[in-house]
A and B are shown apart, each in its own frame.
Chain A
Amino acid sequence: MDWLGPEEWQAVRLSLKVAFWATVFSLPPGILVAHLLARGEFAGKQVLNGLVHLPLVLPPVVTGYLLLVGFGPNGPLGAPLSVLGISFAFRWSGAALAAAIMGFPLMVRAIRLSIETVDPKLEQAAATLGASRFWVFATVTLPMILPGILAGAILAFAKAMGEFGATITFVSNIPGQTQTLPSAIYSFLQVPGGEGAALRLVVVSIMIAMTALITSEILARKLSKRIGGGS
């Protein structure tokens, strides 16, 4: 891909890295929260639901600012984490955190919907066969919601690839550190003669998005075929 300049190539690689890790790290909490919201009955369920969906309705700049306040070197979460040697501010890991938070509601929604389509009667049947709640989830619910998990992961990945507002507010726009595809496109558009580079990155964005969509479509079809119809 030598038609991309080193700076452009760097942005593509960084974006893929950020989106990948954002998706991987949000999957376990995403499945847990989706399961709680779909099947749990507890006080504060609506509060949890609201919190999860907040990034979807807040302006991304606000989410970015809250992350900056919370996870900055002197923030209530950032300070203890920096003692452990974990730092998010102005680093690619911060971009991944911002992307994960922004994609989280989309992921939870997709997984929650698929959990709700699993007939609780099947889970009851598994319980009467000796499966504890954990094993019911692992052997019945989880395999049946794989297409939903995949859809949620793809949505979160796509959101992470395109996330701009929260990322640029939280970790700024440092080439090689935090300059993801959208930030790079934005930067190129700010300098005279940058349209060529911006256009190339736009083409790359479209290619990545299409590949992700087609892959997920094929995988989803294979999974649903494996799960089969009827009960």
Chain B
Amino acid sequence: MIDVTLRHQFGETNLDVRFDAPAGLTVLYGASGSGKTSVINAVAGLLHPDQGRVVVGGNVLGDTAQNIWLPPHKRGLGYVFQEARLFPHLTVRQNLAFGEWFARARAPVASFDHVVEMLGIGPLLSRRPGTLSGGEKQRVAIGRALLARPRLLLADEPLAALDEARKAEILPYFERLRDEVALPILYVCHAPAEVARLATTVVALDHGKLMRVGPAEDVLGDPSFSPQGPRAVGAVLHATIARHHDDGLTELNAGGVSLFVPHIPHPVGQNLRLRIAAQDVILARDVPKEMSALNVMPGHVNDIRLGDGPGAIVALTTPAGKVLARVTRRSALAMGLAVGQPIFAIVKTVAIAPQDIGGPRA
């Protein structure tokens, strides 16, 4: 779907990246300075790399070897920036319609009414951007990019400028774009929780170099890879809603293992993905009795990574999927952990925050 090769010198960093990603939502993941914004800007045509080739859905948008580098307006993409960048002199309706006229040769991604309804921006149409809240502006910016009939939607940390409540408000819209509209998306992000919820494919970068490419559960479940530091490590599980309990808990079924999480407002049978932060996982050699934590997953030790500090990351295979646990090096030694050993992973229900649980996934 997307095929990108780039070499570019910027500042101290030497960007040298090559990846291709299937349809779905591809996250460019890495710390600031890793070159992810340069990659997305090169795809958009806002950056002209020293050398590079960008192919989207079979269309060559740039190939420096052939002296082709289409300007942004000829690429047929949509771009949602970190700041909404709405046109202040136009109303919301005019902002939304801006790209439509230029894109009239392409088929619509979604109708005006559908986009307005999906993003809940109907009441804002006659207002000007100056009077909107941050979350409202970003919703309008997403709508404006969608109505430009993009072949691929680009988003550069679209949630970074928003507070937690606004993030929680916008994130589901990207899930809906991924699942309902089936629009290919290239999404720049450095927050593991966002990656876990959104990514079909993760392209992990570090200092301009490609570190990992693969499905979210593989890249995030890899104990040897923690670009944001050990606190950000966490594995992704797929689960189905099994039951809503009267005491406010929702029971999930993850590969036959029951997991209890705080209530999720989705129907029974719904597929979900959830991220379990490694630091929220406790390891035990036996099933503990009379314990407050509700979630116990049996498994085997798959890998042990001792860090430079006092910590260690332990990777487990469980029926629910790959799980990562962050424990101290001292505990790992005291428990005599070894690869292949049976082990139990324990997670507190309340440790699984709502922002770690993704919406529907097709």
Contact = CB atoms under 8 A, between A and B. Distances in A.
Interface of A: 119, 121-122, 124-132, 135-136, 139-140, 143-144, 226-231
A143 to B, nearest CB: 5
A121 B86 CA distance: 10
Contacts of B44: 128
A228 to B, nearest CB: 4
Contact of A124 (B72, B75, B76, B99): B72
A22 B87 CA distance: 33
B87 A140 contact: yes
Given A124-B46, A124-B72, A129-B99, A231 B89 contact: no
B46 A128 contact: yes
19 contacts: A122-B85, A125-B87, A127-B71, A128-B44, A128-B72, A128-B73, A128-B75, A128-B154, A129-B98, A130-B99, A130-B103, A131-B99, A131-B102, A132-B71, A227-B89, A228-B89, A230-B88, A230-B131, A231-B85
Interface in B169-211: none
B83 A126 contact: no
A174 to B, nearest CB: 46
Contacts of A230: 88, 129-132
Interface size class of B (residues with CB under 8 A): 20 to 34
B148 interface: yes
B81 interface: yes
A144 B83 contact: no
A228 B90 CA distance: 9
Contact of B73 (A131, A143, A144): A131
Residue of A140, A143, A229, A230 with most chain B CB atoms under a 10 A cut-off: A230
Contacts of B45: 127-128
Nearest to A144: B89
B96 to A, nearest CB: 10
B72 A231 contact: no
Given A230-B130, A231-B129, A129 B88 contact: no
Contacts of B89: 140, 143-144, 226-228
B88 A231 contact: yes
A112 to B, nearest CB: 19
Nearest to B79: A128
Contacts of B129: 228, 230-231
A129 B145 contact: yes
B83 A130 contact: no
Contacts of A122: 85, 87-88
Nearest to B85: A125
Nearest to B106: A130
B84 A228 contact: no
A130 B44 CA distance: 11
A146 B81 CA distance: 26
A127 B128 contact: no
Nearest to A125: B85
Nearest to A132: B73
Contacts of A228: 88-89, 128-131
A181 to B, nearest CB: 37
Given A228-B129, A231-B129, A126 B87 contact: yes
Given A127-B72, A230-B88, 5 more contacts: A125-B79, A128-B77, A140-B89, A227-B89, A229-B130
Contact of A121 (B85, B128, B131, B148): B85
B102 A130 contact: yes
A119 B85 CA distance: 9
Contacts of A144: 88-89
B111 to A, nearest CB: 18
B206 to A, nearest CB: 27
B321 interface: no
A83 B157 CA distance: 63
Given A122-B87, A226-B89, A231-B86, A130 B76 contact: yes
Contacts of A130: 73, 76, 99, 102-103, 148
Given A228-B128, A231-B129, A129 B78 contact: yes
Interface in B41-56: 44-46
Residue of A119, A121, A129 with most chain B CB atoms under a 10 A cut-off: A129
Nearest to A228: B130
B144 interface: yes
B76 A121 contact: no
B81 A125 contact: yes
